[in-house]
């Protein structure tokens, strides 16, 4: 049972009092953020990035990861009670969850969401524990061409599967890649796009850009009007389910777990796509499809399970290949880089305590999620009454002061302000900031791998296609570009997710 040894030592990392506290804090903060309209998990993680400097790498990722899947559940609460998705992955829950609330069944809706999330997350973690080491071993054979292809695939899929128009996401990604070139050429050291400014010669600080685009940008966008709150039902009851509810939903939960796990691994996949796919699957499988949209519990159970499963399995490409596959993970990738621990195939070998610590914290985090969700729903509902006009200036000041803690550089705060305005304008004009950040984070790796590949191929670009692994990835990219069936799902994504703040 030798392979169990690192898994068990990972639990040693998790079960220290401070890490347990970070896990709990992360899940709690995530749930609160998911509930509060306006800030999404991306913005919150961006805001907390400066803090991760002060703490251990494993603890930092445990905290941030907790926020991610905690937010998945928090967004459910507002979807069910207010028909307002707290974040993009909860949009599907508004279909049936809100209807259930209007029928006085808010308790069972929230309950099955919590249980489904727990089961989906746990199944996904088991899969991750088994699959990741194997994948990392395989990835050790990756060379620069493979990394180039994979990074491109990730950016492409995020653009294609996102909630905005594809061409606009491509533009946003291109801008992100361009911003990544500011500073010194990674291989030759030449100054690029610095306009003679010393501040720019080190490049744009990723944390400042992220905090500006997602933190400040999001706040400015929501400032434009004040959202007020209206509830579907006055009494929530207990967030728990009956045996018959469980009997109806357990199939959906099982299917959602598997579906979510596999979709989460895909670059570009994540909670949103998984929840959409699960809803479509359940509706197609059901013997009474007309019940969907009117309060069918499978319409909540399946998607909620799937999106938590996907949120967890989406860590696999990050931790094993070193490729973040959605904007949230791009931030985590940045956080790990800041700590001097580059994620990738060597992570398991060189820093096993980080890898297994993070993975095992997910088990614990899911348990926290389940335990917290039952009693705390009432508290969260009260939270919704805090007005945005109070939260906004506080969050803005935290952002501004927080970014200063990284480099003690006022220039970084200017970057936050600048990108805050950019983020606001982007959203007004229908551009997604997510692809920009993902591309920005991947920009350096992508360029370095690309240029190293050119050297390997001695300038012959067709080399990308002839190498088996990178060739396969490129074929996958082509399939993605050409497959019109995706367009159908995407059309529904855009229409439904239009009002969701803070995609994650």
Partner 1 sequence: MSEQGPSRPGGAVPGDRAALPPEEPGTVLQPTTHEEIPRAGAWAHLVGSLVPLAVGVASLVWATQLGVGSPTQPGPGLWPFAISVVLAASSVVLLVFGRGRREDYEKFTRGALTIALGVVSLGLFMVLFQRVGFELPTLLVLVFWLRFLGGESWRTTVLVAVGATAVFYVLFIVALGTPLPHIAFS
Show the binding pattern over residues 438-477: x = contacts partner 1 (CB under 8 A), - = does not.
Answer: ---------x--xx--x---xxxx----------------
The Cα–Cα gap between 304 and 260 comes to 9
Q: Which is nearer to partner 1, 171 or 465 (CB)?
A: 171
Q: Which is nearer to partner 1, 127 or 388 (CB)?
A: 388
Q: Which is nearer to partner 1, 15 or 457 (CB)?
A: 457
Task: Tell me the torsion sign for CA atoms 412, 416, 421, 426.
Answer: positive
7 counts as binding partner 1 under rule CB under 8 A: no
Question: DSSP string spanning 284-306?
Answer: HH-S-GGGTTTT-THHHHHHHHH
Q: Which is nearer to partner 1, 311 or 416 (CB)?
A: 416
The Cα–Cα gap between 92 and 272 comes to 8
DSSP element (H, E) containing 184: strand 183-184
Show the binding pattern over residues 55-94: x = contacts partner 1 (CB under 8 A), - = does not.
Answer: ---------------------------xxx------xx-x
Do residues 334 and 48 lie in contact, with contact meaning Cβ atoms separated by under 8 Å?
Answer: no
Q: Restricting to residues 189-218, name those near partner 1 by CB under 8 A.
A: 190, 192-193
Which of 49, 496, 502, 504 is in the footprint of partner 1 by CB under 8 A?
496
Minimum distance, C-beta of residue 171 to partner 1, in the bound complex (Å): 5
Show the binding pattern over residues 380-419: x = contacts partner 1 (CB under 8 A), - = does not.
Answer: -----x-x-xx-xxx-xxx-xx--xx--x-x--xx--x--
Do residues 470 and 146 lie in contact, with contact meaning Cβ atoms separated by under 8 Å?
Answer: yes
The Cα–Cα gap between 277 and 485 comes to 13
Minimum distance, C-beta of residue 8 to partner 1, in the bound complex (Å): 34
Which of 223, 258, 465, 476 is in the footprint of partner 1 by CB under 8 A?
223
480 counts as binding partner 1 under rule CB under 8 A: no
Q: Restricting to residues 320-349, name those near partner 1 by CB under 8 A.
A: none
Which of 137, 375, 378, 430 is in the footprint of partner 1 by CB under 8 A?
430
- Paired tokens of 401: 């002061």
Residue 482, classed as helix, strand or coil, is: helix
Q: Which is nearer to partner 1, 461 or 483 (CB)?
A: 461
CA distance to 58, 246, 278, per residue, from 243 (Å): 39, 5, 22
Q: Which is nearer to partner 1, 275 or 326 (CB)?
A: 275
CB neighbourhood size of 390 (10 A): 9
The Cα–Cα gap between 137 and 230 comes to 52
Distance, C-alpha 60 to centroid of its chain: 16
Number of residues this chain uses to bind partner 1 (CB under 8 A):
81
Q: Which is nearer to partner 1, 9 or 181 (CB)?
A: 181
């Amino acid at each position: 049972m030798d392979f169990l040894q690192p898994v068990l030592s990972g639990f040693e990392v998790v079960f220290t009092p401070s890490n347990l506290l970070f896990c709990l804090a992360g899940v709690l903060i995530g749930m609160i953020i998911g509930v509060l309209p306006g800030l999404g998990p991306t913005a919150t993680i961006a805001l907390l990035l400066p803090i991760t400097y002060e703490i251990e790498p494993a603890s930092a990722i445990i905290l941030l990861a907790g926020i991610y899947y905690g937010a998945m559940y928090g967004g459910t609460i507002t979807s069910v009670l207010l028909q307002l998705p707290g974040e993009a992955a909860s949009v599907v829950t508004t279909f049936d969850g809100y209807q259930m609330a209007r029928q006085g069944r808010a308790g069972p809706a929230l309950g099955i969401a919590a249980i489904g999330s727990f089961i989906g997350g746990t199944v996904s973690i088991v899969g991750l524990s088994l699959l990741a080491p194997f994948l990392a071993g395989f990835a050790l054979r990756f060379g620069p061409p493979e990394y180039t292809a994979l990074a491109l695939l990730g950016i492409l899929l995020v653009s294609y599967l996102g909630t905005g128009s594809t061409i606009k996401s491509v533009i946003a990604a291109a801008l992100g890649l361009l911003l990544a070139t500011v500073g010194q050429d990674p291989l030759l050291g030449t100054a690029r796009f610095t306009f003679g400014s010393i501040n720019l010669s080190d490049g744009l600080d990723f944390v400042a850009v992220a905090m500006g685009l997602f933190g400040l940008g999001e706040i400015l966008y929501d400032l434009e009007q004040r959202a007020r709150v209206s509830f579907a039902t006055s009494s929530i009851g207990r967030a728990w389910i009956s045996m018959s509810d469980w009997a109806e939903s357990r199939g959906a939960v099982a299917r959602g777990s598997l579906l979510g796990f596999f979709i989460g691994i895909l670059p570009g996949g994540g909670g949103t796509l998984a929840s959409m796919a699960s809803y479509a699957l359940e509706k197609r499988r059901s013997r009474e499809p007309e019940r969907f949209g009117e309060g069918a519990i499978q319409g909540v159970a399946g998607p909620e399970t799937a999106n938590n499963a996907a949120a967890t399995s989406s860590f696999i490409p990050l931790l094993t290949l070193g490729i973040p596959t959605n904007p949230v993970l791009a931030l985590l990738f940045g956080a790990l880089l800041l700590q001097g621990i580059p994620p990738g195939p060597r992570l398991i070998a060189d820093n096993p305590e980080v890898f297994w610590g993070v993975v095992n914290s997910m088990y614990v985090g899911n348990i926290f999620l389940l335990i917290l969700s039952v009693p705390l729903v009432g508290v969260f509902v009260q939270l919704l009454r805090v007005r945005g006009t109070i939260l906004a200036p506080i969050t803005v000041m935290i952002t501004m002061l927080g970014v200063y803690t990284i480099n003690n550089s006022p220039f970084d705060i200017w970057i936050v302000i600048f990108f805050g305005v950019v983020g606001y304008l982007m959203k007004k004009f229908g551009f997604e900031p997510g692809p920009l950040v993902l591309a920005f984070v991947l920009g350096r790796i992508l360029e370095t791998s690309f240029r190293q590949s050119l050297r390997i191929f001695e300038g012959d670009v067709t080399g990308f296609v002839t190498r088996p692994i990178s060739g396969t990835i490129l074929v996958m990219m082509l399939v993605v570009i050409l497959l019109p069936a995706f367009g159908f799902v995407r059309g529904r994504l855009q229409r439904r997710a239009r009002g969701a703040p803070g995609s994650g």
